[in-house]
Amino acid sequence: MKKEDWKKFLSYYKPYRGIFAADMFFACLGAAVTLIIPLIIRYITGNVIYRDSREALHTIMLLTLIMVSLIILECYCNYFIAYYGHIMGAKMEYNMRNEIFSHYQKLSFSFYDNQKVGQLMSRVTNDLFDISELFHHGPEDIVISVIKLLGSFAILLSVNWRLALVAFAVVPVMLIYAFYFNVKMKRAFVKNRARIADINAQIEDNLSGIRVVKSFANEDMEMNKFEAGNARFVESKKESYKYMGLYNSGLGAFTTLISVVVIAAGAAFMTAGLISVTDLITFLLYITNVTDPIKKLISFTEQFQNGASGYSRFLEILRIHPDIEDSANARTLDHAKGDIVFEDVSFRYEKDSKPVLSHLSFHVTPGEYIALVGPSGVGKSTLCSLIPRFYDVTDGKILLDGSDIRSFSLKSLRNNIGIVQQDVYLFTGSVMDNIRYGRPDATDAEIVAAAQNANAHDFIMELPDGYDTNIGQRGIKLSGGQKQRLSIARVFLKNPPVLIFDEATSALDNESEHVVQESLERLARGRTTFVIAHRLSTIRNAEKILVLTENGIVESGSHEELLKNDGIYASLYQMQF
């Protein structure tokens, strides 16, 4: 990681400096205790047992009490590390999750156009968990391991330097073996992460479209696709488990090998009078203090790689700057009049892609009702998406009340625009919650009034719990017409001066269309309104109809005027009637 990345990484510890310092203190204290206890045992077996039996018993009881106290102290140290250390990590994870979720809210439509929701969710869950583990376990594992390893080495050198060198001669070989297979494991785990991200994305895609799957009776096809992805994940898991098995079994063998080497060399030294039984016992007691830190340090490299790769992906998202941002001197738009001008507007989605809109110019006066018609794919929805700045114009400019829309803050601009789309999105929760989304501070009475204006009140009152009825994910318990009327009620509650209806009735049956059309017309009164229409019967009353093709706006006028012209609009109208 770069220096600035490390600096940001360490900044997450700043709010928790106190608990971090306490965590490190108890980690050091717990490690020190594990080094002291074998020394006490050595003192008992090397000195105390040779004293007068009464004095020896008294000393043994006293030292046993001290060791029990040290064990209790070590237990508390481990508890503090396990509980408060994890709490610290969880809070840091909380801060990072808030940060990335907040950043998701700022990113533009163009970002989401090229992303899979499942993979974005993985950044917020799996990746942040790995980072949290690194935040918590990383520093304490290093501190504990270093204290135990260096402390054990120093103590064993002081006990018998010859046997200490023999015992530690195995350690470099153990480290080489461990690092080699740890690298292998790391590569396998990276592959696992990629495969599980693909599976998450596939599950999210399938469950979101489960009704389409069932309507086409394609459950078997979806199952085959999932089984293929799942099988690839199992294959990558097999590889990781292979290296994990070699890693763990090898380290276990080296631990036993060190014990065998110490016993064999110690026995040889005893025959030569170079070491006592007490010192050999001490060496055996310290074997765990030598091997456990090595295992922990090796495991830390894996933990660091997982956390670091997760952190890199976290930063990767944070480094993506929104395409659409407030200008340096953005001002607040309080209440727009609704005078909108397109001045030589062109737009393309990608820098090198074909233009979707080219050199469009037209004027919409406040309160005017404008309809956009034309073949699919000519940019009608794109044109309307430019007004609330879901995308920015490539060339030209859009004026609202005489000012470039880029001079207003995004929040205030969008607060002045209401959008009713064909594909209605309702959130899991109650009817009341979904309507209140239009204005979170609205009263219950205002919500009921908005529902009445949207022709939604009557069907709401027929629901099991009225306005408190839970409508399920994406409003699955409601019909298409009911969902559309709730979305209109949201906009009524928002009460914006500019409206955009993006084929709001095209997916409805005739009866639902009539009810929704009536509420849309009521909503449009006195507001500047853009209507993208599929069914031309719904726009006969439009004050101006713009006919859009790949060549731009080719016709403009009222319904009667365009029929008289006998052009593209007349052809489209005759095809429908």
CATH code, domain with 450: 3.40.50.300
Report the number of distinct structural domains present in the chain. 2
| 144 domain-assigned | yes
| % of the chain at pLDDT higher than 90 | 23
For residue 332, the 8-state DSSP code is -
Spatial separation of the C-alpha atoms in residues 131 and 95, rounded to whole Å: 12
Confidence band of 108 (pLDDT split at 50, 70, 90): confident
Top pLDDT among 191 and 446 is at 446
Same domain, 392 and 482: yes
CB 569 within 8 A of CB 540: no
Residues in contact with 504: Cβ distance below 8 Å, sequence separation at least 6, in sequence order = 420, 421, 422, 484, 488, 516, 520, 531
What are the start-end ranges of the H helices in 364-507?
Answer: 380-386, 410-415, 431-436, 444-453, 457-461, 480-494
CB 265 within 8 A of CB 240: no
Pick the most confident of 92-106, 282-296, 507-521. Answer: 92-106
Looking at residue 419, its amino acid is: I
pLDDT in tens, 365-377: 999 999 998 888 8
The yes-or-no verdict on residue 193 having pLDDT over 90 is no
At residue 318, φ and ψ (nearest 5 deg) are -65, -25
Same domain, 158 and 28: yes
Q: What is the CATH number of the domain that holds 80?
A: 1.20.1560.10
| 356 domain-assigned | yes
Same domain, 294 and 381: no
pLDDT at position 508, please? 62
pLDDT at position 506, please? 61
Spatial separation of the C-alpha atoms in residues 46 and 531, rounded to whole Å: 94
| 327 domain-assigned | no
Nearest Cα neighbor of 232 from 209, 206, 198 is: 198
Q: What is the pTM of this model?
A: 0.74
Q: Which two tokens stand for residue 204?
A: 């999210």
The yes-or-no verdict on residue 27 having pLDDT over 80 is yes
Kindly state the average pLDDT of the residues 55-65.
Answer: 86
pLDDT in tens, 223-256: 888 888 888 888 878 887 888 888 888 888 888 8
Kindly state the average pLDDT of the residues 425-450.
Answer: 89
pLDDT in tens, 521-568: 888 888 999 988 777 777 877 889 999 988 889 989 888 888 888 888
Kindly state the average pLDDT of the residues 385-411.
Answer: 93
Pick the most confident of 221-235, 452-466, 473-487. Answer: 452-466
The yes-or-no verdict on residue 358 having pLDDT over 60 is yes
At residue 463, φ and ψ (nearest 5 deg) are -70, 160
Q: Which two tokens stand for residue 249?
A: 């079994």
pLDDT in tens, 274-304: 888 888 888 888 887 887 888 788 778 777 8
Same domain, 303 and 419: no
| 467 domain-assigned | yes
pLDDT in tens, 303-331: 787 788 788 888 888 888 888 888 889 89
Same domain, 352 and 467: yes
| 332 domain-assigned | no
The yes-or-no verdict on residue 272 having pLDDT over 60 is yes
Looking at residue 206, its amino acid is: N
The yes-or-no verdict on residue 74 having pLDDT over 60 is yes
| 244 domain-assigned | yes
Quick check: helix, strand or coil at residue 423?
coil
| Domain that residue 361 falls in | 340-576
Spatial separation of the C-alpha atoms in residues 456 and 469, rounded to whole Å: 14
Same domain, 376 and 297: no
Q: List the single range of 144-158, 209-223, 391-405, 490-504 with lowest mean pLDDT.
A: 209-223
Same domain, 29 and 103: yes
Same domain, 183 and 223: yes
Same domain, 41 and 135: yes
Same domain, 38 and 86: yes
Which of 318, 353, 387 is a domain's end point? Answer: 318
pLDDT at position 215, please? 67
Residue 282, CA distances (Å) to 40, 152, 276, 311 in order? 10, 10, 10, 43
Confidence band of 132 (pLDDT split at 50, 70, 90): confident
